[in-house]
A and B are shown apart, each in its own frame.
Chain A
Amino acid sequence: DGGITQSPKYLFRKEGQNVTLSCEQNLNHDAMYWYRQDPGQGLRLIYYSQIVNDFQKGDIAEGYSVSREKKESFPLTVTSAQKNPTAFYLCASSADRGMRSGYTFGSGTRLTVV
């Protein structure tokens, strides 16, 4: 079955450490996205990529980095520069530039800084 997989589901990190969240899709989608969700809040866009080897900052990119070396993969690194990294992170992908079918989301990674 085609889908989008995020791993791990839960992640604990010590302050000052970088951590990388994985996102893989086998839907052959061109575009991929990373969102952050805080309790009781909506979705805030961190980074997005519409094609391999290209990506753009979203609304809250500071303290995060991404790469898009393969169409299937869009990993997100939460760096030590991110002041408040504890949150629920969602990865998504979309099929076409018109995006009439919307995004397909992964099941999320909950990151906790301890």
Chain B
Amino acid sequence: GQQLNQSPQSMFIQEGEDVSMNCTSSSIFNTWLWYKQDPGEGPVLLIALYKAGELTSNGRLTAQFGITRKDSFLNISASIPSDVGIYFCAGLYGGATNKLIFGTGTLLAVQP
């Protein structure tokens, strides 16, 4: 099955640093979503993007829907220890298929 290319695969940073991750696809999406998964839990929706070029913030998180509609970016500013987890992007084609396509995930570790 198709998965989106997400990078980096993992990041090990110091508390207070900023973080950037991105997701790319060979196909155009109508919707981009970013999820965070805490260890041993299910993913939780962080940000949803619906329009090419859209830039949306949620606290220290900012995500952008790429102009080409084939990519999306997530930035986390001033990281804190509770940012630890796996971050997934997800894209939606829309139409009859109507299933989210998930990225491969970015594992984030934050050292206090």
Contacts and interface: CB of A to CB of B under 8 A. Distances in A.
Interface stretch (B11-19, B41-49, B66-74, B76-84): B41-49
Contact of A100 (B44, B50, B102, B105): B50
B1 A108 contact: no
B102 A43 contact: yes
B103 interface: yes
Contact of B1 (A50, A58, A90, A99): A58
Contact of B88 (A40, A43, A48, A108): A43
Nearest to A50: B98
Contacts of B100: 99, 102-103
Number of contact residues on A: which range applies?
20 to 34
A97 interface: yes
Contacts of A45: 1, 99
Contact of A42 (B3, B40, B44, B92): B3
Given A50-B98, A59-B1, A107-B41, A42 B105 contact: yes
Contacts of B102: 42-43
Contacts of B31: 99-100, 102
Interface residues of B, number: 25
A44 B1 contact: yes
B33 interface: yes
A107 B42 contact: yes
A106 interface: yes
Nearest to B10: A40
Contacts of A2: none
B97 to A, nearest CB: 10
B90 interface: yes
Given A31-B98, A45-B1, A101-B48, 6 more contacts: A33-B99, A42-B104, A42-B105, A48-B99, A100-B50, A103-B100
17 contacts: A40-B107, A42-B3, A42-B88, A43-B43, A43-B88, A43-B102, A45-B1, A45-B99, A92-B42, A99-B100, A100-B50, A100-B92, A102-B31, A102-B45, A102-B92, A103-B100, A107-B41
